[in-house]
A and B are shown apart, each in its own frame.
Chain A
Amino acid sequence: MMSLPFFGAFLALLATLSGERMIALILWVVSTAVLLALFRMHATSPLNIAL
Chain B
Amino acid sequence: MSAPITTADRFRLLNALGLLAVGAVLVAAFVDQIAFNDLPCPLCILQRAGFMGVAVGLALNVKFGPRPSHYAIMILSALAGASVSMRQTLLHIVPGEGAYGDAFFGLHFYAWALILFMVCIAGTACLMLFDGQFDKGDNGVPAQRRAFAPFGVVTIVLVLLLALANGASTVIECGGGLCPDNPTSYKLVDDGTIEHLFGPVLGPLRDLMGR
Contacts and interface: CB of A to CB of B under 8 A. Distances in A.
Chain B binding site: helix, strand, loop or mixed by DSSP? helix
Contacts of A28: 53, 56-57, 73, 77
Interface in B128-174: 153, 156-157, 159-160, 163-164, 166-168, 170-171, 174
B179 A2 contact: yes
B97 interface: yes
Contacts of A3: 166-168, 170-171, 174
Interface string B163-207: 110111011001011110100000000000000000000000000
Contacts of B179: 2
Query: What is the size category of the interface that chain A forms with chain B?
Result: 20 to 34
Contacts of A38: 42, 46, 178
B140 to A, nearest CB: 20
A29 to B, nearest CB: 9
A47 B176 contact: no
Contacts, number: 115
B76 interface: yes
A38 to B, nearest CB: 6
A49 to B, nearest CB: 6
B153 A12 contact: no
Chain A binding site: helix, strand, loop or mixed by DSSP? helix
A6 B48 CA distance: 9
Interface of B: 42-43, 45-46, 48-50, 52-53, 55-57, 59-60, 63-64, 69, 73, 76-77, 80, 83-84, 87, 90-91, 93-94, 97, 153, 156-157, 159-160, 163-164, 166-168, 170-171, 174, 176-179, 181
Given A42-B42, A48-B97, 13 more contacts: A1-B177, A2-B46, A3-B166, A5-B49, A5-B52, A6-B166, A7-B164, A9-B163, A13-B59, A24-B56, A25-B60, A42-B46, A42-B181
12 contacts: A1-B177, A6-B164, A7-B167, A13-B159, A16-B156, A21-B60, A21-B64, A31-B49, A39-B46, A39-B80, A41-B178, A47-B91
Interface of A: 1-3, 5-7, 9-10, 12-14, 16-17, 19, 21, 24-25, 28, 31-32, 35-36, 38-39, 41-43, 47-49
